[in-house]
Chain A
Amino acid sequence: MSKTSPGFGNWLQSRWQSVVSGIPFIWLLLFFLAPFFIVLKISLAESIIASPPFTRLLDWSDGGLPSLKVSIDNFAYMWEDSLYVRTYLSSLKIAFISTVLCLLIGYPMAYAIIRAEGNTKYILLLLIILPFWTSFLLRVYSWMGLLADQGTLNSFLVWIGVIDRPIRLLYSQFAVYVGIVYTYLPFMILPLYANMEKLDMSLQEAAADLGAKPTAGFFTVTLPLTLPGIIAGSLLVFIPATGEFVIPDLLGGGNVLMIGRVLYSEFNANHDWPVASAVAIALVIVLVVPMMLYHKVQAAEASRES
């Protein structure tokens, strides 16, 4: 390398780390941070009937110095109209309950995968990842087919005689929970699996040897040691579930309040881009705390391993 172009070679050699880590950094800057600021900018504008449908932040119309026009009316409006607050709370509640359900289902599953012998382990792990090979939208649509009034589940229940006539499954909170838990379960299981994989099984034996019954051993040894996996998995489910749009829209119909749907209708039905942007910015602010928590857990985990 240094023979052909010593200058560049040396530079690359001394700087390759910053170059390699710089590329994703630039990527995020361009495609995440820049759009974020555009949305922030729109959220501070006012809605007008024009194209684009919002006022400019900097007004050059006077000539000479531009005047800055910032409005926090959109945020104030969100706070005043209880619909938005209620929707946020409802979204957080649904995301929270879904996360707990994912944890209750995913924890034993991850544990079973770890304890599986030989190839079974990898087959089970593959089954967890397999759904990702089909489009997410398609999988949600197929749940509509399963849960519909004349759908597979209802027909089956009627056929075996548990119920006389179809019950309402689709377009309910229940359907939304089914959809979210089904979709986000792998995001719970995979971090738990990665964490449990590192768990020294002799620790559980040591606990039993020292007189801990299985449940006591679980709560004093296994659970604290898998806590980083639990937190990582929970946040990976909770954060996207809060802003989920497709699942409440397709499976919840008009019966389930979630912020993703409100955002969608503000933007598309009301054409109120500034309010839609404000809703989005508020969502980011609501989720910053769990996101920072997630980052902290990851960093702690990394420093413990090194």
Chain B
Amino acid sequence: MNQASAYPWREAGAAPFISIKNVTKRFGNFTAVDDISLDIYKGELFGLLGGSGCGKTTLLRMLAGFETPTSGSISIDGADMTDVPPYERPVNMMFQSYALFPHMSVEKNIAYGLKRDGVPNGEVKDRVADMLSMVELTDFGKRKPRQLSGGQRQRVALARALVKRPKVLLLDEPLAALDKRLREQTQFELMNIQDRTGVTFVVVTHDQEEAMTLSTRIAVMDGGKFMQIGEPADIYENPATKYIANFIGSANLIPVTVADRQQEHLQLQHEQSNTMFDAITEQEVVAGDKTTLALRPEKILIDKAPLQECDNQIQGTVKEIAYLGKISTYRVDTTLGMTLEVTAPNQVRAAASGMGQRIEWDDEVYLGWNNHSAILLNS
């Protein structure tokens, strides 16, 4: 993967590693996965993100071979996998419950897959030892899974899934069972291991932060369909719909009408308050279109003095402040007749800032943002 581009999906004509074509999966009357197509490239750490019941797990299980698509096809590294049973696929899975064999020691768990393939004993021993050292569990080989902590079990599950050097590693909510601290640490370990092994990872998660941190690309799923596929920054900065704008991070949604358009420069009108905003966008809207202006809370500046440098500015009253340490979240009742959410870093220690400078409850404030910060959403 070194010779290949780090962003193969950006290039036209790059050969996909996993190719999902028009796949549908129905359980009785319920359509879990609805005619989806997706290309995943070699060495990617691809995130499937969505709420429960969105079809992400069903898609993962079809990649593993536990479910057969009702229609459509799946191929991995050029070979059609649609009807290949799980035990013949070049794919391994890390289960959400880890599914470690409780009657086997850590070593035997990791060796299981190699033994099934008839790998000679000496090689099994070496490869198991390599895996144990990779996940830093060298001294735990003789223990049973129930004698391990949650984090250790997670690492055994990872080692067991990677020891066969699969072409693709599937991870079902790999970090869901860990506590917050361990989760953050493990995220980086996972990325590190993915980078070292070069195996293509497909990760299912319901946690948008996890997906953002881990993934090279994310597919946001809802109702068995992809809502948007893109790089994390792309999805965050250019969400396609209100659903995604709210699912990935949070957003202030202001209903507006396009008043005027000069190339990418737009004039947007908020009708209730007759306020005009400037925006710059490449989206295809024309004068007269009704649309939604989405503003990320951290893209809005807040100050008690007018914000001269901002392209757009409105006034409001602070109704709520949530102090989160490094940042604070303000809920501001604005002249638009709406409450906007704004986050700002706490750059000065609260005690050190002089009276009158600090923003308090019921303060009159100015909110401002640049016209590049505007996101227009299709409703």
Contact = CB atoms under 8 A, between A and B. Distances in A.
Interface string B76-99: 000000000111100111010101
Contacts of A221: 101
A207 B103 contact: no
Contacts of A268: none
Contacts of B361: none
Contact of A210 (B65, B97, B102, B116): B116
Interface stretch (A41-49, A73-81, A212-220, A235-243): A212-220
B85 A210 contact: no
B117 interface: yes
Contacts of B87: 208-213, 217
A217 B116 CA distance: 9
B47 to A, nearest CB: 20
A202 B66 CA distance: 10
A109 interface: no
Q: How large is the interface on A (under 10, 10 to 19, 20 to 34, 35 or more residues)?
A: 10 to 19
A9 interface: no
B103 A211 contact: no
B112 interface: yes
B8 interface: no
A224 interface: yes
Contact of B66 (A205, A213, A217): A205
Contacts of A213: 87
A83 interface: no
Given A211-B116, A220-B112, A206 B95 contact: yes
Interface string B106-125: 00000011001100000000
B95 A216 contact: no
Nearest to A225: B103
B164 interface: yes
A223 to B, nearest CB: 10
A200 interface: yes
Contacts of B92: 209-210
B80 to A, nearest CB: 19
**Best-buried of A200, A208, A209, A220 by chain B (most CB within 10 Å):** A209
A211 B113 contact: yes
B160 interface: yes
A213 B88 CA distance: 9
Contacts of A194: none
A216 B100 CA distance: 17
Interface string B150-186: 0000000000110010000000000000000000000
Interface string B337-356: 00000000000000000000
Chain A interface SS verdict (over half): helix
B64 interface: yes
B116 A216 contact: yes
A269 B86 CA distance: 65
B161 to A, nearest CB: 8
Contacts of B100: 206
Contacts of A127: none
B113 A200 contact: no
Contact of A203 (B65, B101, B117): B101
A196 B207 CA distance: 33
Given A216-B116, A220-B112, A209 B102 contact: no
**Best-buried of B85, B100, B116, B161 by chain A (most CB within 10 Å):** B116
Interface string A60-74: 000000000000000
Contacts of A209: 64-66, 86-87, 91-93, 161
A208 B101 CA distance: 13
Interface in B35-55: none
B97 A207 contact: no
A202 B97 CA distance: 8
B117 A211 contact: yes
A210 B95 contact: no
11 contacts: A202-B95, A205-B64, A209-B65, A209-B66, A209-B86, A210-B160, A210-B164, A211-B113, A211-B117, A221-B101, A224-B103
Given A206-B100, A207-B101, A207-B112, 6 more contacts: A209-B87, A209-B92, A210-B160, A211-B113, A211-B164, A224-B103
